[in-house]
Amino acid sequence: MKTEILVIDDNADIRFLICNILSDNGYTVRSAANYDQALTEINTKLPDLAIVDIKLDKGDKDGIDLLKVLMNKNKDLPVIMISGHATVQVAVEAVRLGAYEFVEKPFSTEKLLNYVKRADEVFKIKNEKINFENKLFHSFDLIGQSQEIIKIKKIIEKLASAESRILISGPTGTGKELVARKIHKSSGRAKNPFIVFNAALLKEKNYEKQLFGEELDNGAINFGILEKANNGTLLFDEISEIPLEIQSNILRVLIDQKFKRVNGTKDVYANIRIISSTSKDLKNLVDEKKFREDLYHRINVVPINLPSLQSRTEDIPLLINYFKKKVAEINGVPEAEIDANNDLLYSYNWPGNIRELRNLIERVTILSLNEDKKDTNKILTEILSENPSINNETMNNTLSVPLKEAREKFETNYLINQLKKNNGNVSKTADFIGMERSALHRKLKALGIKGLN
C-alpha cells in the first residue's frame, strides 16, 4: 500500500511543487492551503506522513498548532515542518513537540525526498513492530482439556452468532482479554475494531474525554474510545474500577445507543458490542453500593468465569508445550526442554496464573540457551523455589504436629499432586508411584482424597 502524505502550505506554487515531487516518486498525496482545510483533511482521514509549513497566512492558527493536533491524534506520526523564515527557537519548539524533522526553504528535491523516505521507513518499522506483536498476541489460543476450559470453549462457539453482552470474571492472569478477543474474532464484527478500555490505568478526571471524546475550540475532534470502537467490540477491562458517576453515563449509552462528546452538542450513535472483565466479585460490590446494580445486570447477560491455574493443573503440561513453541517463535531461539513432571509445577500456587506460567517458560527458555535438559530443569526448579509460597504452609504445619499426622499431611499433598499430574487418572498415578491400583484407592479413601475433576 502506498504511503499517503498530507502537504499543508499556503503558497500555491510551493504546495503544487511538493505534491508533484511526491507523486512522481510513488506517494499518494493530499493537500491543504490553510489551517481549516488541513483540519478537515486530518479529521477525515489521518495521513501516514505530513509536511507542514509553519507560517500559514490569513488565520490565527499556524503550522505549530497543526503539529499539536497531529501529535494528539498519533504521537508516532512523522511530521516534517518547513519554513523560510522561522527562528531557531521555533525550530527547536517544533522538534520538542514531536516533529520528525525541520527543513528550511528553499530546499532541494533530493533533500526533501531523503527526509520523507527516512521518516516513512521509521513509521513503517514502528507499525510493523506493533502489527507483529498484535499478530502474536491474537494468535495465542485458549489451551486446556480440563472441564472448565472445554465448557468455556463451547460458550465462545455459541457466542459467535450472538450480540449478547458478556461479563468475564476470574483472577488476574487467567486470560480474560484473550477470551474477549476470541469472542470478537469468531463474531460477525471480526473485521471491525477491537478496543480495550483499561479502567484501572486511567485517572478519574480523564474518564469522560477518554470514553466520549472531545471537541476542541479550534474545531479539532479527539475521538473517544466509544467512537473508535464503533461497529466493533469494546472491552471494559477491570470495569469495577470505573467511578460510580461515570458508570451512570455508560449505562445511559447502553440504553440509548448514543452519546455526546465533551463540549459537543450533536449525538453520536454507537453500534458496539460490549464485553466487560473483572478480577473482583461485582455482586459483592453491588451489595456494598460500590457498583451500580442496574449496570451490573446490563453487562452480565452471559457470564464467563475463568478458573485459576491452581484449579486446573492437569492443563499445565499442555500449556508448557504450547508456550515453549510460542516463546521460541517470538524470540527466534530453540525450544527449551522442560520437564512437565516437575513436582514443583503442581505444588506451586500460581498467584499470577497463566500469565505467570508463560513468563516462567520465557525466563527458563532464555536462561537455558545452550544448556542441556538436566541444567534446564535445574533452572526451572531454582526459579520456582525462589518463591517462598511453595509449600511454606505445609512445612509449617508438619513441623508442629506429631510424626503420624505429619506423614499423613505429606502423603495427602503428594498424592493430590500426582493425581493432578495424571489428570485425575488413578491407574496412571498408581503405575507412576509404584503402587497397586486397589491399594491406592484404599489409601485415597483413608486420607479423604476424593476424585479430582
Residues linked to residue 252 through DSSP beta bridges, in sequence order = none
What interhelical angle do 392-399 and 403-421 show, nearest 10? 160
Rounded CA gap, 391 and 413, in Å? 9
**Cβ–Cβ contacts within 10 Å for residue 15, how many?**
19
pLDDT tens per residue, range 31-90: 999 998 999 999 888 899 999 998 886 667 889 999 999 988 888 899 999 988 767 788
Q: Tell me whether residue 45 is exposed, middle or buried, using C-beta atoms within 10 angstroms of its C-beta: 0 to 12, 13 to 18, 19 or more.
A: exposed
For 212, the grid coordinates are 466520549
Average pLDDT over residues 329-333: 83
pLDDT tens by residue, 416-436: 777 777 777 888 888 877 778
CA 436 to CA 285: how far, in whole Å?
50
Give the separation between CA 126 and CA 137, rounded to whole angstroms: 17
SS3 101: strand
Query: Which range is least confidently modeled, 179-188, 390-399, 444-453?
Result: 390-399
Instruction: Provide the pLDDT confidence category of residue 395 given band limits of 50, 70 and 90.
Output: very low
- The strand pair at 302-305 and 166-169 is best described as parallel
Q: Indicate the burial class of 88 (C-beta count within 10 angstroms; 0-12, 13-18, 19 or more).
A: exposed
Per-residue pLDDT of 121-172, as tens digits, reads 888 777 765 555 555 544 578 999 999 999 999 999 999 888 999 999 999 9
The string of pLDDT tens digits covering residues 249-272 is 999 999 999 999 999 888 999 899
CA separation (Å) from 103 to 47, 63, 79, 405? 19, 13, 11, 81
DSSP states along 42-100: HHH---SEEEEES--SSSS--HHHHHHHHHHH-TT--EEEEESS--HHHHHHHHHTT-S
Ordered DSSP codes for 330-383? HHT-PPP---TT-THHHHS--TTHHHHHHHHHHHHHHHTTT--HHHHHHHHHHH
The angle formed by the CA atoms of residues 320, 324 and 326, to the nearest 5 degrees, is 120
Q: What is the rounded distance in angstroms from the CA atom of residue 338 to the CA atom of residue 379?
A: 10
Q: No. of H helices and E strands in the chain?
A: 20, 14
pLDDT at 390: 47
Question: What's the predicted TM-score (pTM) here?
Answer: 0.63
Q: What is the pLDDT of residues 101-125, one digit of tens each?
A: 888 888 889 989 999 998 888 887 7
pLDDT number for residue 259: 93
C-alpha closest to that of 214 among 204, 225, 203: 225
Q: What is residue 191's predicted lDDT score, i.e. its pLDDT?
A: 87
Per-residue cell: 109: 528535491
H or E segment at 207? helix 207-212
pLDDT of residue 379: 85
Give me the pLDDT at residue 450, please: 73
| CATH numbers and ranges of domains, the chain | 4-133 (3.40.50.2300), 140-305 (3.40.50.300), 312-385 (1.10.8.60), 392-447 (1.10.10)
